[in-house]
Structure formats: C-alpha cells, structure tokens
Amino acid sequence: MSRILVAGNINHDCIWHLDRPLSSGARLSCLSRETRLGGGAYHTGMELLRLGATVLIAGTLMDDEAGRQALASLRQSGFDTTHVTMTPGVTQSADILLDPRGERTIIAPPGRMRAPVSLNGPVSVDAVYVNASACADDLLAAMEATTFSMAQFPSRPDPRPADLLIGSAADLKSRSLPDLWQDSRMIAGSRLSHLVITDGPGPVRIFNGEKIERANPPGRLSVPDTIGAGDTFAGALLHGVLTGQRVRDAAMEACRLTQAFLMARATIRER
C-alpha cells in the first residue's frame, strides 16, 4: 500500500444546480443547492483512498465550526490530517454554478488569498502530489526528497520538483507542446519525464519531450455533475504509475476510473 502526501486546496463548495445552461440576460432557476467539501487536494486524495492508498493531506482550514467539521469529515473519510493547518478566520464557500450538462462556473470568494501550503513536520512517503498555487519551502523539500513527485501545472511559473506535470488544455491555452515542455522543464527541473494534458471528455495527451502518446476515454459520458473529475483522474493516474504502469496505460485506466466515479455519483443523486 502506497503512502502518499497530497497537498493543495480543501474547499467548501456551495453548488447551485441550475435548470438550464447559463446565457446572457436569462432568468434561471436553482433546482437545488448543497455545500460539500471540494478542492484539488480533497478530490485527488479521495480517489487515492478509494484505491487503497494511505493518504496524508496538507492544506488549510479555518479554525471555526465549519472548519472543525471539515477536519472531522476528512478524518472520518480516512485521511491522515497531521499536515492540515487550522488558522484563525471564517470559512468562506466558493459558489459553483452547475448546469444540467455538467458545465460549471466557479465564483471564488472576494479577496481570498491562498497562503503557501506548508507541512507540520517531516514526512515519510512514497510519493508527493501537489495542486497548490504556492508551496512553502518545506513542501518543496518534500517533493525534492521523495522517490516520485507529481504536480499540477501551476498558474505561475513557480518551481516545484516533479517527475510528472499534469494540466488541462483549457488552462494551458493553445501553446505548442515544445513550448509547454520548455516551460515544464523550468518548473519541474531535470527530473521531469512526462507532461500529461487532459481535455475534458477528449483524448489525454502524454508528452515526454520527444513523442506524443494519446489515451482515449472509453466513451463519451453525459452526467450532470463533473466537479472533481480532473482531480479524480490525477489521483487514479498517480496510483497507476506507482503500481508500475506505463504513463499511457495509467492514463487509460484513470479515464475508466474517473468515468466510473462520475457515473456512481450520478446514480446516487438520482435515488
């Protein structure tokens, strides 16, 4: 069983289920509204837990009632919360507008500033996964020291030692693969072996600096809630690589597992 440190955001998502897609000037109805835990660290960690890994989660929660309830929920789910930092303040939710096709619009709380994700002491793990806008020095040191490190392509070109970077085509815009690879090497350093680019329900591209491979999802899936799909894919991909699969094979299996997760959630919601 792998021991994995997952570092990044632990959010409170307020999800508005809309009756139809957003359009300019429209008057929409909210079919239902719910608040649940979310964020990159949470969703990726949950997939790793489902796959049998031991998951240490690092992130920040507010030290109020909502934050303490979230901490208890993480522990109940199976996370090791040693590296969750409780900080003074009031929990703020991110509003997510979700239309019937699964398309989402995220509205972050005003003025929210993300502090660099840090650790509460040394870690001994088989792998580190980071999905954070900023990393403290101790987290970067843990990435450097671990046998395998994986990270989301950051919005800023901040260094984060990684063997594999993953990003979405929507976030990476239309830059060419050679340019992205050059940027990736500047971010991840010389240990980088692969850049993985997801594209929603489309094929996943895997680039090693020389050749492109593609991993095709098993079929196009239509579900009303795709929140966390990319983070779930990242968790399944990491699990596959750690169990010895080639990156392309791990990506193929991650596509299948992500679809299975989305279908299972849709089935539960319909009941």
pLDDT of residue 271: 55
Sorted by sequence, the CB contacts under 8 Å of residue 245 that are 6+ apart come out as 253
pLDDT of residue 213: 96
CATH number at residue 192: 3.40.1190.20
**Rounded Cα–Cα distance for residues 54 and 125 (Å):** 9
pLDDT more than 90, % of the chain: 75
Identify the domain containing residue 195 by its residue range: 3-10+40-90+116-270
What's the alpha-carbon Rg for the chain, to the nearest Å? 18
**Rounded Cα–Cα distance for residues 126 and 145 (Å):** 10
pLDDT more than 70, % of the chain: 97
Residue 106 falls inside a structural domain:
no
Residue 136 falls inside a structural domain:
yes
Q: Write the CA distances from 202 to 98, 135, 197, 217, 256, integer angstroms.
A: 20, 30, 10, 7, 13
Q: Write the CA distances from 3 to 79, 123, 148, integer angstroms.
A: 11, 10, 11
Residue 59 falls inside a structural domain:
yes
| 3-state secondary structure labels for all residues of 127-181 | EEEEECCCECHHHHHHHHHCCEEEEECCCCCCCCCCCEEEEEHHHHCCCCHHHHH
pLDDT of residue 200: 85
Q: pLDDT tens digits for 33-77?
A: 999 999 999 999 999 999 999 999 999 999 999 999 999 999 999
**How many structural domains comprise the chain?**
1
Residue 105 falls inside a structural domain:
no
Q: pLDDT tens digits for 192-201?
A: 999 999 998 8
Comparing CA positions, the residue from 267, 177, 164, 175 lying closest to residue 221 is 267
* Total-model pTM: 0.94
Residue with tokens 């079919």: 31
Q: pLDDT tens digits for 137-189?
A: 999 999 999 999 999 999 888 899 999 999 999 888 767 889 999 999 999 99
Q: Give the amino acid at 169.
A: A
Q: Give the amino acid at 188.
A: A
pLDDT of residue 153: 95
